Amino acid sequence: MSFENTLLTALLIGILGSTHCVGMCGGIVSALTLGAQPLQRRTSTLSAFVLTYNAGRIISYMVAGGIAGLLGETVFSVLDEHLAMLISRMLSGVFLLALGFYLAGWTQSLAPIERAGNHLWQKIKPIGARFMPIRNYRQAFLSGLVWGWLPCGLVYSALVWALSASDPLQGMLIMGVFGLATLPALFITGLSAVKFSQVTRNPKVRRGLGATLIVLAMFHLGGYSVAL
């Protein structure tokens, strides 16, 4: 798979997985928003704060993507190039498949990975509490940086694609595109769009988006089978 197609997949993962973002991170966005001072809750100012939170979050994703890409580069460099490509393709496809079932609510396949990441989160979480309530853009940005390390199966699935890129810069770009794809849903949620949150939590919507990811994963794994 070309890098351009990998970026497209990261974009689709972010867009289709936004329902999970709203369900998992919607409460955080609301807490950050409600933590802002009353004078900052005008729509224009609030929009700027929500964008600032998310800028911090996406930068953290990109840092994690760079680390994943460097790890992939280190691990796959000791393997035959063809074998490394097949392994990375299979790994990313399996995670995409698991994400589809997880998003649709048919399995809890990624829950153990989220629980594993929770150990790191418990150490990082108190740092974010220092910036509450949000009084300025600096605090909003730093809160977003912390928020970006929240354990999330959706993010971890995207990180596997960054890992499979086997390049730190490409890993950062993959996670940057993924993060930007999740921005619209979380931006709307940050402005207290209750109806939008209700739509994204609708089981039928989640199953439909999950099924779309499953189909995408099957095409990806089908290409892997042909390559074999």
Give pLDDT tens digits along the chain (228 positions).
567 778 888 888 888 887 766 665 656 666 666 555 554 555 567 778 888 888 999 999 999 999 999 999 998 888 777 777 788 778 888 888 888 888 887 888 788 888 888 888 888 888 877 877 777 888 889 988 998 898 888 898 899 989 988 899 999 999 999 999 988 877 776 666 555 555 556 778 778 888 888 888 887 777 654 444
For residue 79, give both structure tokens: 């393997």
The pLDDT of residue 227 is 46
Q: Say how many C-beta atoms besides its own lie within 10 A of residue 75's C-beta.
A: 14
- Say if CB 103 and CB 209 are below 8 A apart: yes
Cα 79 to the chain's mean position, in Å?
28
Cα 57 to the chain's mean position, in Å?
9
Burial profile 162-188: b = 16 or more Cβ within 10 angstroms, e = fewer: bbbbbbbebbbbbbbbbbbbbbebbbb
Q: Which residues contact 42 (CB under 8 A, 6 or more apart)?
A: none
- Say if CB 210 and CB 102 are below 8 A apart: yes
Q: Say how many C-beta atoms besides its own lie within 10 A of residue 205's C-beta.
A: 13
Rounded CA Rg of the chain: 18
The pLDDT of residue 190 is 65
The pLDDT of residue 116 is 82
Burial profile 116-136: b = 16 or more Cβ within 10 angstroms, e = fewer: ebeeeeeebeeebeebeebee
